[in-house]
Amino acid sequence: MPAERLSMRKIREVLRLRAQGWSDRKIARSVNVNRTAVRRMRERAEEAGVSWPLPEALADSALEALLYPPIPHPSIQPRCPERILGSLCHSC
């Protein structure tokens, strides 16, 4: 079962405190979440290229979309043309 997402208010606070140089432990205590949640949020922000200060016009929904992009369904992945034609594919 996936972990519950932090509220946007807590996410913004994690990003703000991290930009001020706070440790994950100190942020976790301040925001009242565990260190793993802080670390995961920091990693998601780094992967998404999100840093503090956030643009003023960045809505919560846009921030959420950056931090939690949709996961492609395996059946939607493009198939190798050679496999579609029934021959053995050497690159898959």
State the pLDDT at residue 72. 72
State the pLDDT at residue 5. 84
Closest by CA to 21, choosing from 52, 48, 47, is 52
Query: Token pair for residue 21?
Result: 């140089």
State the pLDDT at residue 77. 57
Model confidence, pTM = 0.72
Measured from the Cβ of residue 11, the count of other Cβ atoms closer than 10 Å reads 22
Q: What are φ and ψ of residue 56, in 5° steps?
A: -60, -35
Segments making up each domain of the chain, as ranges: 8-69
pLDDT in tens, the chain (92 residues): 466 789 999 999 999 999 999 999 999 999 999 999 999 999 999 999 999 999 999 999 999 999 998 877 666 555 665 555 555 555 55
Closest by CA to 64, choosing from 10, 1, 27, 18, is 10
